[in-house]
Amino acid sequence: MSRLSLHTVDDAPEAAQAGLELVVSKNGFLPNLFRILANSPAALEAYHSLSAILTRGNFSIAERETIQITAAATQKCGICVAGHTALAYRKAGLAQDIVDALRDSKSVPDAKLDALANFTRALLQRLGNATDDELRAFYAAGYDEGDAVEVILGISLATLCNLTSNLGRPSLNPELAPYAWKEAVAKDA
């Protein structure tokens, strides 16, 4: 049972109803994370605004989902790992070995996505204070300074969702059950 109210489109604050309708139209169902975000229409609006901004940025959908899955696994948000796993398969077309590596915080079998995941994790774990070597490795993979800042933008969206979900502790929607996540026990270096 969720620790925070789970709103429907009909019982949500009026200022959140259009945002929830948009989520339903994009997903075909209302994920519990958004039902919680609706408690704060401003938070739901922030989600939609940041999402829209990120689609106009430098990263492909595969790169955006790499950041989201990495952040969700790092911040231990099972609901967000499941949701972004579904998106990684359905919209980004990522292969299972890549998604599994991201979910388990392991080396990704795609050098560029691996560098992105490593840099995302470094920023999260060091609160933005990535080492010079971590930044050089990110640049060596073909990314630039704008991309480094855009990773932080992606992390900000992920943090909004991950911490909201972790606070509320809603159940996983049945639609996301095939993508359920349990934190990996052993992580490679």
0.85 surpassed by pTM? yes
Q: Structurally, what CATH architecture does the domain formed by 61-179 represent?
A: Up-down Bundle (1.20)
Q: How much is the pLDDT for 89? A: 97
Q: How much is the pLDDT for 182? A: 87
In angstroms, the CA 71 to CA 47 distance is 15
Q: How much is the pLDDT for 1? A: 83
Q: How much is the pLDDT for 103? A: 98
Q: What is the mean pLDDT of each run of 10 residues along the chain (189 residues)?
A: 95 97 96 98 98 97 98 97 97 97 97 98 97 98 98 98 97 96 60
Q: How much is the pLDDT for 128? A: 95
Q: How much is the pLDDT for 184? A: 59
Q: How much is the pLDDT for 78? A: 96
**Whole-number CA gyration radius for the chain:** 16
Domain spans in the chain, listed from the N-terminal domain onward: 14-55, 61-179
Provide the H-helix boundaries in 56-131.
61-74, 78-90, 96-103, 111-125
Q: How much is the pLDDT for 53? A: 97
